[in-house]
Structure 1
């Protein structure tokens, strides 16, 4: 595949502005920054939002905890989504390490004898709104072929060892060490022809977090 930066909008090396660990202070800073961005005085924003000048001053200085209704009113007056006012808050971010050989062996729908799944990490509820499930999948000479899978989200495969033909929809892809495959997992998919065993590959599944 030819390298292209088209559509890649994130700079993975960019460092975000310093985050605030106090929620009230973080909200206040966002309100003040957005007010100034719109070139509004405190009195202007108070008049537009219906929040008193005194209350607004306390919010911007982080000395009170505004109600959700007040935050929503200010967000509307500042013409930003509600969540924007929380964007400067430093939340705890999850991180899991799994040492070599310690991935939890697990069953997934469609697992057959000789198909071994090792879950390499899992973060539950998180701030991204996305669930990520990385698996190390091993197919041995005892393996029989899969029924095809279908599930929501996206899936990324990276071939480590062996050789298989992997089905996605009505297409077959030859997968050898170093090959990768990224696809919409709502289409029927799965390893169809096991050509060189044992075979091992990484499968990383992402899908929206449920409420």
Structure 2
């Protein structure tokens, strides 16, 4: 039997009985997927709301500890009192820019506002729509997660610099940092040192020393930045 005849035998081409059998056995309706249970739905909603509620709870905690009013902190952060009230109640998802502004208004590190996330979890799933984004200065900065456990807090960030004129803010912090170039080429500054990094190059550094992208050599540039520090 030649190859063409072999294909015909498998597919039923030229064999009306085989075609009729395939059509007869084909399902006429799609099998319905089981509906999620109320418990599963509630768990999904809890995961979706965890970040908003945790950040809001921390903002309210520090604001009240400092004996400051909603209006006072909102003004210092460049927000309306109504928006700050929504954030404190977990009714809205603040952008990374807003979280940073609140941290500055309360004289805190950004990571302090994520301390309320369930630390008992050994794995944290953050859907793409929950990633906090900051688009200032033409660069796109995405805080992927804040994971705390076993005495260490870790924050992975993806920074995209689309062109030579854009800049990216890298907040100084305690602990150590790891940088990997996912795409493009750039000069990365750490204190008084400068490193030319190409795609897949890595840099491990002391995060307490001022560091940031210094110059774009080949755009666009995408960086993975992971900062880790001991929990206090």
- Greater length-normalized contact order (CA 8 Å, ≥ 6 residues apart): 1
Flag the structure with larger Rg. 2
Question: Per the shorter chain, which TM-score range?
Answer: 0.3 to 0.5
Alignment TM-score, normalising by the size of structure 1:
0.48
Alignment TM-score, normalising by the size of structure 2:
0.44
Q: Which has the higher helix share?
A: 2
